[in-house]
Amino acid sequence: MDLSVIVRNAPFMLGGLVLSFELAAITIVAGLTLGIILASARLSSKPVLYYPATIYVHFFRGLPLILVIFWLYFLAPVILGTSVNEFTSAAIAFVVFEAAYFAEIVRSGIQAVPTGQVMAAHSTGLSSLQTARFVVIPQALHNMVPALVTQAVVVFQDTSLGYVIGLREFLRRVNLTDAREARSVELYLFAGLVYFSICSLGSLASQRLEKRRAEGQ
């Protein structure tokens, strides 16, 4: 074991975390936004909204993320007609893919609100919009926050897959360091430790929320 290899290369490797965080942040914000739109369409009684959204969600949930990353990397330039850098193509792949997962979390959170709540709100004269705003959405958010936090952790872990198209995020930089230093054991253990620490914080937050939720009821 030679831990000095980690100390020596830490600034370079950890620099990749910035990119990992950026990619995760973009995916969470844009993926969740798209997910909310998809979930609303999935809950709609209009077939023109329901079917496309449902097919979209099932399609992407049926594919491995790594495949979608490759697709976008090779297809995006063909479709857009210009070259696309690794980060942009990875970000699009992540958003498009994770949106399907966020959509299902949002949908089940909304569906978990009992219909009796909607009836009660309507019976007092509240409009559908008011019912959504004051009665359904607050409860749905409450239902879905733990799952959303867990999914955010998964997104962060998944950013390491950007590595397959040469995105210089954290894992790719560890990999490059290893090519130079030939210290695989130390370096990959270090990478594991970094991912584990960050994700544990997320899981801890999720557990806390879950507990607070249980106490609130």
Partner 1 sequence: MIEIEHVSLWYGKEFKALDNVSETISSGQTVIICGTSGSGKSSLLRCINGLERFQDGKITVDGLSVQHARTNIQKLRSRIGMVFQHFELYPHMTALENITLAPVRVAKKSKQLARKEANELLSRVGILDQADKYPGELSGGQKQRVAIARALAMKPKIMLFDEPTSALDPEMIKEVLDVMVDLAEAGMTMVVVTHEMGFAKKVADEIIFMDQGKVIEKGNVHMFFRRPQTERAQQFLSRILV
Query: What are the residues binding partner 1 (CB under 8 A)?
Result: 114, 116-117, 119-127, 130, 134-135, 138-139, 142, 216-217
User: In whole angstroms, what is the distance from residue 10 CA to residue 15 CA?
Assistant: 8
Q: Least distance to partner 1 from the beta carbon of 41, Å?
A: 23
Distance of CA 51 to the CA centre of its chain: 23
Residue with token string 């919009």? 129
Closer by beta carbon to partner 1, 90 or else 148: 148
Q: Least distance to partner 1 from the beta carbon of 24, Å?
A: 30
Inter-CA distances, 65 with 185, 190, 206, Å: 27, 24, 24
Q: What is the DSSP string of 141-178?
A: HHHHHHHHHHHHHHHHHHGGGGGGGT--SHHHHHHHHH
User: Residue 58: in which H helix or E strand, if any?
Assistant: helix 47-61
Closer by beta carbon to partner 1, 59 or else 134: 134
Compute the radius of gyration of the chain from its Cα atoms: 21
Q: Least distance to partner 1 from the beta carbon of 103, Å?
A: 23
> Angle, to 10 degrees, between the axis of helix 86-111 and the axis of helix 4-43?
50
Closer by beta carbon to partner 1, 52 or else 114: 114
Closer by beta carbon to partner 1, 126 or else 199: 126
Closer by beta carbon to partner 1, 90 or else 106: 106
Q: Least distance to partner 1 from the beta carbon of 114, Å?
A: 7
Q: Least distance to partner 1 from the beta carbon of 45, Å?
A: 13
User: In whole angstroms, what is the distance from residue 101 CA to residue 108 CA?
Assistant: 11
